[in-house]
Structure 1
Amino acid sequence: MKKEYRIKKSEEFSAVFQNGTSYANQQFVVYVLDKPGQPHLRAGFTVGKKLGNAVTRNQMKRKMRELVRIHQTHLHPEKDYVLIARKPVLQLSFQQLERSFIHVMKRAKVWNHENEI
């Protein structure tokens, strides 16, 4: 994922949390913030310490980044996304994670149906 597509700074995360809208399913919580005029989407990822040690958390963040990278054409641009992993993600395969990711994005009404898989 390119640098300009990532949310890294604490202030940017805080802005999405405070001004964005949250949607959830059992595996993920996603916060979505409209950013009119932004040329592309930006995404940030969080995995809490309750999910495991640093290695486990970083592996999960890599998987979440890959999900956004693969499906960025399906997501609405001009938005910031913060994706939070919940405990049940640890037991899922990548295909199950992908289905859950698509489900939460459809729930958030940011999934572009024209490019359906």
Structure 2
Amino acid sequence: MTRRADFLSANRGLRIARPGFVLLAYPNQGKGKRFGITVTKKIGNAVVRNRMKRRFRELLRDALPQEGLADHDHVLIGREGGIERDFGRLRQELTRALAKANAGEGDPPRRHPGKRRRK
């Protein structure tokens, strides 16, 4: 995935948080199994972010053909502890996250304590 609109639409989908990453899964109307990766500047400098993206890319290329959801966009968002985590452990976490997504069991919606809903 390369278009910003695809990433924004994936944010409305299923969310599964793990210590090293957050997985988003969203139906894409028959476009196949696609993936995207997001790592923000909060994680570290460009070297650290690129290393994390390479690790995520390898994880997704290995796992999605067998374990990914058909006709869904999969987005991995890097978290602070993700770069130090063991690659094998990240692989196990991704497998569990994809299994939860296949079962339709996402994490509860996020709440922002500083924001109020208007009535």
Instruction: Verify: 1:56 aligned to 2:48, yes or no.
Output: yes
Q: Hey, which of these two has a bigger chunk of helix by percent?
A: 1
Q: Output the amino acid matched with 2:47.
A: V
Q: Tell me the CA shift for residue 35 of structure 1.
A: 2.2
- Please name the residue that 2:75 is paired with: 82
Matches within 5 A, 1:1-117: 7-17=1-11, 19-38=12-31, 40-74=32-66, 75-109=68-102
| Contact 1:36/1:78 (8 A) holds in 2 | yes
Structure 1 unaligned spans of 5+: 1-6, 111-117
Number of residue pairs matched?
Answer: 102
Q: Give 1:55 shift.
A: 0.9
**Long gaps (5+) in structure 2:** 104-119
TM-score of the aligned structures, taking structure 2 as reference length? 0.77
Which structure is larger by alpha-carbon Rg, 1 or 2? Answer: 2
CA contact (8 A) 1:46 1:83 kept: yes
Runs of 4 or more, structure 1, over 6 Å off, are: none
**TM-score (structure 1 length as normaliser):** 0.78
CA RMSD across the alignment: 1.5
Offset at 1:51?
1.2
One-letter code aligned to 2:13: G
CA displacement 1:10-53 (0-9 Å, x = unmatched): 11111111x31211122221111112322x21111011212110
- Counterpart CA distance in 1 for 2:72 and 2:65 is 13
